[in-house]
Structure 1
Amino acid sequence: MSILPQPQPKMWIWFLCLGGFYLVWAWLVFYQEQWSEVVSHWPMAAAMAVGSYAAGSTPMGGGSVGFPILVLLFGESAELGRDFSFAVQSIGMSSAAIFIFARRQALAGAMLKGALLGTTIGLPIGIFLVAPWVPGLHIKIIFAVVWGSFGILHLWRIQEIAGHEGMTDFDERWDQKAGFLVGLLAGAAVVSVSGVGVDMALYTVLVLLCRADLKIAIPTSVVIMAFASVLGILTKLAFTGVQPGVYGNWLAAAPVVALGAPLGVFVVDLIGRKPTLIVVAILCVGQLLWTLLQESDNLGALGMSISVLAVGACLLGFERLRIWGARLVGERSEHPQRDTNIAAVSQPEA
């Protein structure tokens, strides 16, 4: 299992990209006279100051904060929340991904390569063939269930997840196949509907099945979500269009997330990932409870029951992955002669 890249940080690359973005943003705002849009959508910019930090420091994209704020707090449609997630993450997560590459942080290279290919195929399929058939209420519930169960997982298993070191060394071809399957299924079934999710799916496989160190799993999840966000927003702009209101919210939030997400990558190395994960996990569980309470009348007893069962199914799936990962670790210990492909894990310079 390859761990990429190697040392020798080149931070000038990130600074150059960041400067280029701010020049384009300034041209849109001042030359195109869009300052009024920025001012009118300042609450989203303030909210994404927190969301962008979570995007860079956890396996939860900025949309995991932007979506519930737009939909649950501001009362906007779930479709707008999804499209905004694509748009804002295409800046914030991309900036964080470039920052990660510039610092030469360790990544699960083989699994990431497979996930990139799977997402390239699965996400457009989901945008064209899955998302149009999913009602707004179901988008809310899918988002709430996926991220709520993810939060419960971390509150339940945080000690174990935070204690992993290195990564279980499987065959590189196995990693690529696993990554491809994650990218294909998550891209088609989750990301296309909610605007987030492939980062969480890949991260879950890495920490539960491969027992990967958070210093490897989280940066890898940031990179795949950055790619999915750019692919998602470009696909929608080219073929389906985006919901009205996305541009104004994006214009206000983009300059915040461009700096906030990389800041999360940097700061979390100083304070540790465990406290941040616990806080974000609590928020994920909170938005699940908020969504179910807010939509209880629309869901009815049957819908509420199905939602709770869906959370339970996700948790059972997580536990099966964990058990499988433990079994594979035992098999590797019993058969150390099996050939694997693993490079040294590089650590970023302080």
Structure 2
Amino acid sequence: MLTMVFGSFIAGSSPEGSAAIAYPVFTLLLKIPPPVARNFAFAIQSIGMTSASLLIIGLRVKVEWNYIRFVTLGGICGLVFGTFYVVPLISPVMAKLFFVSLWLSFGIALWRENSRPKRYVFESIQHFNSKDQLRLAIFGLIGGIISSIFGTGINIFTFCLMTIYYRVSEKVATPSSVIIMTIETLLGFFLHVIILKDFSQESFELWIACVPIVVFFAPLGAFVITKLPREGIARILYIILIVQFIGAMIVIKPSVNQILMCAATLIAGLGLFMYLAKLKREADPK
């Protein structure tokens, strides 16, 4: 229960879904099988993130609809492909270490960008064109595959592109990513319940127990971000990413080879995100 209090609040207030908290706790601490944890993540987010999205839309919070449309298009394809062809091949522990290492590298890159004296940000993608449509769809495709493994991922993965490359304000990108993950999680829930029929009794019981919690705390998180400045939202994200990484290291106790993989992922991720940050688009101030 306590896990879902924090998880659902984070799901509504950041580009991280509640599965970013629930998945490692359930699989590593509570020893719940990864498929059960993933299916529970889709189920519980279908309630919590839908509630948060309805609040965002109802309050007319500023979002980037081009981002939402084209990432969702790619994400649907990625989720379906990943569910059937990628998930059976993935080691849960290695995947989780890759997950937390990559997002930590993004957090470092975003902190570096925000520490600059003058960082220009926008409330939408400037000069949106067909190349942007393709770029967002490709990132959505990859993000959808990530979500098929963990029950979350497309939101934070595409949030990286929005804030680092497109320089869209965290205050706009965050609620936009919540809506994207809502659509993705509803599809994931449908796939596992109706198509694959692998939604276990254990997942169902966990879901029913946690619904009253997430239906309150996820919208509360979404409301809180409407009151915070952009810098405040970024700081919350830094804390989540650092705690997530440290927690995974403590719980998993990685081997030397796994630590080397984490280091390689961290370095490669920093290189990627810093490269994106250096790219200049037509709309950027000179």
Q: Same fold (TM over 0.5)?
A: yes
Q: Does 1:264 align with 2:264?
A: no
Residue 278 of structure 1: aligned partner = 235
Rounded to whole Å, the distance in 1 between the matches of 2:22 and 2:232 is 21
Aligned residue for 1:127, secondary structure, equals helix
One-letter code aligned to 1:196: T
Q: Tell me if 1:328 matches 2:285.
A: no
Map of 2:5 onto structure 1: 49
Does the 8 A contact of 2:64 with 2:125 survive in 1?
no
1:187 aligns with 2:176: no
Match of 1:250 in 2: 207
User: Does the 8 Å CA contact 1:79/1:243 hold for their aligned counterparts?
Assistant: no
Decide whether the 8 Å contact of 1:84 with 1:250 is kept in 2: yes
Map 1:217-228 onto structure 2 (within 5 A): 217-228=173-184
- Mark the structure with the bigger radius of gyration: 1
- Tell me which moved more, 159-168 or 256-265: 159-168
Are 2:83 and 1:127 equivalent residues in the alignment?
yes
Distance in 1 separating the partners of 2:120 and 2:210? 34
Please point out which of 87, 91, 95 is paired with 2:43: 87
Structure-2 residue corresponding to 1:312: 267
User: Aligned to 2:281, what secondary structure does the other structure show?
Assistant: helix
With over 3 angstroms needed to count, the CA separation of the structure-2 counterparts of 1:262 and 1:288, relative to structure 1, is same
State the distance in 2 between where 1:156 and 1:245 align.
43
Within 5 Å, give how 1:40-119 maps onto structure 2. 44=1, 46-119=2-75
The farther-off stretch of 144-153 and 133-142 is 144-153
User: Contact between 2:4 and 2:22, CA under 8 Å: does it hold in 1?
Assistant: yes
1:32 aligns to what? none
Q: Answer whether contact 1:57 1:273 (CA < 8 A) is retained.
A: no
Q: 1:83, 1:162 → 2: CA distance?
A: 40
User: After superposition, where does 1:166-205 map in structure 2 within 5 Å?
Assistant: 166-188=123-145, 190-205=146-161
Which among 244, 266, 280 is matched to residue 287 of structure 1? 244
Query: 1:162/1:235 Cα in 2 relative to 1: closer, same or farther (>3 Å)?
Result: farther
- Which residue pairs with 1:164 in the alignment? 121
Whether the aligned pair in 1 keeps the contact of 2:10 and 2:221 (CA below 8 Å) is yes
Gaps of 5+ in 1: 1-43, 335-350
For 2:133 and 2:102, how far apart are their aligned partners in 1? 24
Sequence identity percentage:
26
**Deviations for 1:136-185, whole angstroms, at most 9, x for unmatched residues?**
22233233323333443444444469873434512343332222111112
How many positions carry a matched residue from both structures?
A: 284
The answer for the alignment partner of 2:258 in structure 1 is 303
1:150·1:281 contact (CA, 8 Å) conserved in 2? no
Q: Is the 8 A contact 1:111 1:178 kept in 2?
A: no
Question: C-alpha displacement at 1:220, in angstroms?
Answer: 0.9
What is the CA-CA distance between 1:107 and the residue it aligns to? 1.9
SS in 2 for 1:107: coil
- Stretch moving more, 104-113 or 228-237: 104-113
User: 1: CA distance between counterparts of 2:28 and 2:152?
Assistant: 16
CA distance in 1, matches of 2:125, 2:194: 40
Give the AA of the match of 1:328.
R
Moved more, 201-210 or 163-172: 163-172
Per-residue deviation at 1:244? Answer: 5.1
Asked whether the equivalents of residues 54 and 280 of structure 1 are also in contact (C-alpha less than 8 Å), the reply is no
Secondary structure of the residue that 1:328 maps to in structure 2?
Answer: coil
- C-alpha distance after superposition, 1:104-143 (max 9, x if no partner): 2222122221111111211111000000111222233233
Give distance in 1, aligned partners of 2:70 and 2:122.
23
Query: 5+ residue gaps in structure 2?
Result: none
CA distances 1:328-349 after superposition (whole Å, capped 9, x unpaired) = 15x6557xxxxxxxxxxxxxxx
TM-score normalised to the size of structure 1?
A: 0.73
